[in-house]
Structure 1
Amino acid sequence: MNNEKRDNRNKAGKLGKIIVNVFMESKNGSKMEGIKINLYRINGVSPQLEISKLTDKNGVVIFDNLSPGNYRVIEIIDKEIYEKPIYKSWNEVNISNYLKETVIDIINRKKRS
């Protein structure tokens, strides 16, 4: 195979990215630093954990260099303090030739005492 064909195949198979933003109370609310976000690859019945990351000072986690496939993003947060997180634009993504990058916003609310 010549180099030109190999380069074209590599470009066609460009890897994907999922950007996760974590907010408090609303999409315009304060950003939450240090929140654990798990990325799972969905392969049939049992999702497999790919990687865990903590949100940065801007409340952001970036999962990049993702090969094509189905993924699920799950926020790990103290359920005694916070309600169940709200995922804007759903928390499951199919990285493919048609969708290489997506953004998931997660909104958190404190439980009422």
Structure 2
Amino acid sequence: MDRAELAVMLGNQTTACEPARAALLAGGDFVVWDGRVPGQQLAGIYAARLRRARKRGAETLALPSTVDILTRLEAAQVRIGCIFSPDRTWAFMLFFADDAGSVLACTGVRQDAR
């Protein structure tokens, strides 16, 4: 998958898609990993991340809606990817259909200063 293909896939699945697309088109690094994970398993992982983010006061984009989407997928297999903003202040996690032909959900998390 190339940058242009990925940019087209980032529609309005969640409110994090537009900033993720902007980061991608601005030259941010991206990766789509091999392998698949059940949506239900990811829903549990990202629900826990949502609780921790709220507890810490971390800035996120579309994390609750992403958890909802992943929960509805149940046993469906999901591929995972990530886009980093060029300045590395944001990481956008992408969740793809099994064939990586469409983005199902996208969430963003502001990265801690290093």
> What TM-score range do you get, normalising by the shorter chain?
under 0.3
Q: Tell me the TM-score normalised to structure 1 length.
A: 0.28
Q: Tell me the TM-score normalised to structure 2 length.
A: 0.27
Greater share of helix: 2
Greater share of strand: 1
